[in-house]
Amino acid sequence: MKQLLKLTAASLLVVGALGVQASTLSDVQAKGHVSCGVSKGLAGFSSADSSGTWTGVDVDVCRAVAAATLGDATKVKFVPLTAKERFTALQSGEIDMLSRNTTWTITRDASLGLNFAGVNYYDGQGFMVKSSLGVTSAMELGGAAICIQAGTTTELNLADWGKANGIDYNSVVSDTNAQTLSNYDAGRCDVLTTDASGLYSMRAGANDPSEHVVLPEIISKEPLGPVVRQGDDQWFNIVRWSLNAMITAEEIGVTSATVDMVSNNPERERLMGRSGSTHEYVGLTSDWTYQIIKQVGNYSESFERNIGVNTPIGIARGVNALWSQGGILYSPPFR
Amino acid sequence: MKKLILDSLGKSKHRGSNFRDLLYNNEARAFFFQVITFVLVVGLFYTAIGNLFDNIEARGIQTGFSFLNNRAGFDILPFLGNIVVDYTPESSNLTVFYVGLVNTLVVAFIGIILSTLIGLLIGIARLSNNYLIAKLAGGYIELFRNIPILLQILFWYNLFINIFPHPKQSLAFFDIAFLNQRGLYLPKPIPEDGFLFVALAFVIGIIAAYFIKKFFKKKQDLTGAHTSTWPYTLGLVIGFPVIIYFLIGSPLQFDYAVLGKFNLRGGMAVVPEFLALTFALSVYTATYIAEAIRSGIEAVDKGQKEAAAAIGLSPIQSLKLIVLPQALRVAIPPTINQYLNLTKNSSLATVIGYPELMSTFGGTVLNQVGQAVEILAMAMLVYLVISLFISLLLNYVNKKMEIQGR
């Protein structure tokens, strides 16, 4: 809360703050790093290991932007934020971009002075219960206490779902992911609800994952993606197309291992900036996409490395597969 | 005024123009600088706030208070606020504000009462002649005063939800009240027709008890004969309504909590968030109040106690009639500060999710609406008003308790 007050007061009260802050790109290049807002710890999406290195699919979007703008994917300053702090931090200029499993909604897009630069994970809200309860469907949850994190779309979805299905429950709200999880573990509530990806991530972190079941119902659409401030279209384009470059690279079949190979596929040459002048349109050097793929990898690499079926989190691609492979992941063309 | 100016010129024989007089006049100078300071401060605020709104608008962020009428759309942990205000997800954001406000006031009110009682007890115990009691009280103060309050809130909360049993193994008190990790479940009273008379009897009892006390006080002032009034008070305030209650035929039903599939249902649940928060705040604030009481008692001259003993008052009477009334005069001003701190510290409840003002309105609503400036300004105003009200009330009490000038 203190941080929230500080952020609001600091930037919005400063005389003429807006005038000098014309270009996020030149700011980023001048200070030599991208300030990226991430979660306080959600395994597979954004979490720091014991040596302070951040990993996750959300983290990779920040790294891709750093690789594109500074040529170095490690030049990111990660700012861990609670769900409540995240928009204020972005609005006030404390961070350059937000990549914190944030759901794209019309209210957030149109009334907060923010722009969503795309979707890096298609999610939906689910429920997790202890297997000992013997519950197999969310429809059996009448009378349960449900743990939930404050300041999320999850709170709104839950109320809508409860009303639509005539299910009466008690919501137990906490500020942070950690307290929500510890409430659930201690038994303050019977059910934990958040985006399904988050549930898998938390289940993977439990002492014995088999003690918890994720119920089959998905009660909402949660397109998660990176967010930037409104009013800087160049920066908006850079973030949007950095993400698109990762998706397109998967589509064409370029990986961090094969990126150095020269081919005669014109689409691939265009993506890698070896022909055409798209890099000039976004105001970057011609190797910006090369750096993203070389240092961060394509979408599939990032997915499989952080949350794929071979990780403890074990999420299948599902709707997050490419449109050509049965999913809905789709990047507009690089031309 | 003319005389004043001349005075201020002192011995100076010089008599210049009026303007010159004014320039060297202390009062005029002081006034002049106050005006300049005032203009500067107001100007600074005006520019800052104007700039704030320009920036907000330029960034495409919504402004204004129309969000207060929008549907809230989320659930709040059921506690007193929801019941008093009748909240559902269909209610407006303004209703959320009221729910938060009620929950904040409840914590502040009960916290102030509890911390005063504990503080008074510990403050007196600390000066006890009994070595063990004095040291225990001292240890209590040192322990709880020196641990950050945020940590204490988290500690008690996590302790509470971890040591108490699951709802299916609740600790039951004669199947009337239940205690488990999800709270303390009490029977919910449901008044029926005629209960109003019982309430009326209670009020009449209080008024009558007040006059009886006044009567015997007067008698004591006149004749010196002391009469204990507590049997009358007890009979009037408790006995009288109870008799009425049974005469009318017990016009009160209770709704007891029963075990449902997941939780206890029905009854009146006091959530662990409230219990942990109130407990932590009371225990913490009590240490400061105890110190204030101790300093008050120590400020009372030793001769007062000796004189009380000399005229034959018992130690309890001496404490109650001689020492405490004088000690409280010293103790009240620092205690006011602690009441204010307790109220403001209640906003730390966001970490455990107690639905007070900052976690509901300043938290969830802020996040759904995104208008940080308006929402935080409203919240700050609330704390300001509550604090000013408490200090106004206690300043009045302080005035009453002060030594009357003769």
Closest C-alpha to B84, from B109, B106, B69: B106
- Determine the Cα–Cα distance for residues B397 and B393; give it in Å rounded to an integer: 7
- In this prediction, residue B183 carries a pLDDT of 87
- Determine the Cα–Cα distance for residues B289 and B20; give it in Å rounded to an integer: 55
* B103 in a structural domain: yes
Kindly state whether residues B175 and B262 are assigned to the same domain.
yes
- In this prediction, residue B228 carries a pLDDT of 80
Please indicate whether, in this complex, the C-beta atoms of B158 and A186 are within 8 angstroms of each other: yes
Average confidence (pLDDT) over B163-176: 84
Amino acid residing at A21: Q
* B12 in a structural domain: yes
Nearest CA distance, B370 vs chain A (angstrom): 6
* CB contact B367 to A (< 8 Å): yes
* CATH level 2 (architecture), domain A24-122+224-325: 3-Layer(aba) Sandwich (3.40)
Please indicate whether, in this complex, the C-beta atoms of B59 and A84 are within 8 angstroms of each other: no
Higher-pLDDT residue of B225 and A248 is A248
- Determine the Cα–Cα distance for residues B186 and B263; give it in Å rounded to an integer: 14
Looking at chain A, which residues constitute the CATH 3.40.190.10 domain(s)?
A: 24-122+224-325, 125-220
Please indicate whether, in this complex, the C-beta atoms of A159 and B74 are within 8 angstroms of each other: yes
Q: Are A171 and A193 in contact (CB under 8 A)?
A: no
Please indicate whether, in this complex, the C-beta atoms of A143 and B355 are within 8 angstroms of each other: no
Q: Which residue of B has its CA nearest to A182?
A: B158
* CB contact B391 to A (< 8 Å): no
Q: How large a percentage of chain B has pLDDT more than 70?
A: 95
Fold of A125-220: D-Maltodextrin-Binding Protein; domain 2 (3.40.190)
Kindly state whether residues B27 and B118 are assigned to the same domain.
no
Domain that holds residue B350: 80-187+256-401
- In this prediction, residue B290 carries a pLDDT of 95
Taking contacts as CB-CB distances below 8 angstroms, the residues of chain A near B352 are: 174, 179
* B214 in a structural domain: no
Taking contacts as CB-CB distances below 8 angstroms, the residues of chain B near A115 are: none
- Determine the Cα–Cα distance for residues A161 and A173; give it in Å rounded to an integer: 17
Q: How large a percentage of chain B has pLDDT more than 90?
A: 34
The structure tokens listed for A194 are: 């958040």
Q: Which residues contact B204 (CB under 8 A, 6 or more apart)?
A: B240
Q: How many structural domains compose chain B?
A: 2
* B238 in a structural domain: no
* B314 in a structural domain: yes
CATH code of the domain containing B144: 1.10.3720.10
Kindly state whether residues B107 and B174 are assigned to the same domain.
yes
SS3 of B191, please?
Answer: strand
Which of B45, B274, B364 would you mutate first to test chain A, the one with the most A CBs within 10 A?
B364
- In this prediction, residue B55 carries a pLDDT of 81
Kindly state whether residues B51 and B125 are assigned to the same domain.
no
Kindly state whether residues B290 and B370 are assigned to the same domain.
yes
Nearest CA distance, A163 vs chain B (angstrom): 9
Average pLDDT per block of 10 residues along chain A, 335 residues long:
54 46 86 95 91 95 97 95 89 94 91 93 94 90 89 86 90 85 90 91 85 90 94 94 96 93 86 85 92 96 94 90 94 91
Q: Which of B48, B59, B166 sits opposite A187 (nearest CB)?
A: B166
* CB contact B162 to A (< 8 Å): yes
Kindly state whether residues B38 and B153 are assigned to the same domain.
no
> Could you tell me the pTM of the whole model?
0.78
Kindly state whether residues B264 and B335 are assigned to the same domain.
yes
pLDDT tens digits for range B228-237: 878 888 888 8
Higher-pLDDT residue of B404 and A42 is A42
With a cut of 50, say whether residue B219 has pLDDT above it: yes
Please indicate whether, in this complex, the C-beta atoms of A112 and B61 are within 8 angstroms of each other: yes
